[in-house]
Amino acid sequence: MKAIVATDQAAGTSGMKLVERPEPQAAINDVVVQIHASGFVPTEMAWPSTWTDRLDRDRTPSIPGHELAGVVTALGYGTTGLSVGQRVFGLTDWTRDGTLAEYAAVEARNLAPLPGDVDFTVGASLPISGLTAWQGLFQHGRLRAGQSVLAHGAAGAVGSMVTQLAREAGAYVIGTGRAADRQTALDFGAQEFVDLENDALEDVGGVDLVFDVIGGDIGKRSAGLIRAGGTVVSVVGPPETRPADGLAIDFVVESDRAQLGEVVQRVRDGRLRTNIGNVATLDEAVAALNPTDRVTGKTIIRMFGELSP
């Protein structure tokens, strides 16, 4: 099969190559998926799991990408819940070969059925950003209607999902980002926007929940905005500064079939809009994942069926 591999950590995405690799086999409780579309998070090249397995052994050449939408082609020993020919989408294990390939072996529990009216490109754009937003807001942040949320990077992949899901849950949402992102963040439903390059973050006043996708100085300053009893939820590592009277939580997203179902149902009925930028074929993937200009929205790589739904 054709696959993108990474072998050189120092080279990052520029070291990716399109090569031939053996097709994966389904292990216990796995399925093999013929991948029609794959998502990619640009920071993957900095994740240890891209380079080593769970015992910290070198696993290069590794196939990056962890989001997929495709069709099940084989079942492993004992696999239940999915069948050959079924359309699926979901999130693959961080320490196994991923989704920038024509096929991937995935534990069935990490996938959910992809409804027939949802395009593979859309399906592949949802698992990481949708589940991260869902888990950060509702599981870890325990968001309730009437609370206020500071959604950092609100025009980005995770931030646009945070903004929309928080609004739908009845929260007041203040989005942040670069000056050029104002309209995009407002279009995703933010009621206010803080331009982090020109506005004073501190002018926001108090909020109940900060959803941090940026970290660093922005993360540190955000802790001071938390109202008593509020929460900082970080997906970029442990918050360096904790709120004086509140919680600080960092987490890594996990796949969850029921939550994938919640997210995709919202896309189907128009409550949730995807944030897809460039769509490229596997042959074009190395160039698409090494953009020379600023990229907005998620880059999706299409395999079978190329660029048609």
Ligand X SMILES: NC(=O)c1ccc[n+]([C@@H]2O[C@H](COP(=O)([O-])OP(=O)(O)OC[C@H]3O[C@@H](n4cnc5c(N)ncnc54)[C@H](OP(=O)(O)O)[C@@H]3O)[C@@H](O)[C@H]2O)c1
DSSP E strands, 103-245: 103-107, 111-113, 148-151, 172-177, 192-195, 207-212, 226-234
The interface with ligand X within residues 183-212 (CB under 6 A) comprises 196
CB of 78 to ligand X, least distance (A): 29
Quick one: 41 or 124, whose CB is closer to ligand X?
41
The interface with ligand X within residues 91-110 (CB under 6 A) comprises none
Residue in 5, 88, 214, 300 binding ligand X, rule: CB under 6 A: 214
The interface with ligand X within residues 22-61 (CB under 6 A) comprises 41, 43
The pair phi, psi for residue 211, each rounded to 5°, is -110, 105
C-alpha span between 131 and 135 (Å, rounded): 6
Residue that is written with structure tokens 């670069």 in the block = 178
CB of 22 to ligand X, least distance (A): 29
Q: Is 294 in the site for ligand X (CB under 6 A)?
A: yes
CB of 62 to ligand X, least distance (A): 17
Residues 6+ positions from 43 with CB-CB distance below 8 Å:
none
Quick one: 132 or 148, whose CB is closer to ligand X?
132
Contact 176, 196 (CB under 8 A): yes
- The closest of 23, 4, 26, 24 to 15, measured between CA atoms, is 4
Residue in 105, 106, 118, 158 binding ligand X, rule: CB under 6 A: 158
Contact 194, 154 (CB under 8 A): no
Q: Is 157 in the site for ligand X (CB under 6 A)?
A: yes
Give a three-class secondary structure readout of 11-24.
CHHHHCEEEECCCC
Quick one: 24 or 177, whose CB is closer to ligand X?
177
Quick one: 157 or 226, whose CB is closer to ligand X?
157
Binding site for ligand X (CB under 6 A): 41, 43, 128, 132, 153, 155-159, 177-178, 181, 196, 213-214, 218, 235-236, 252-253, 294
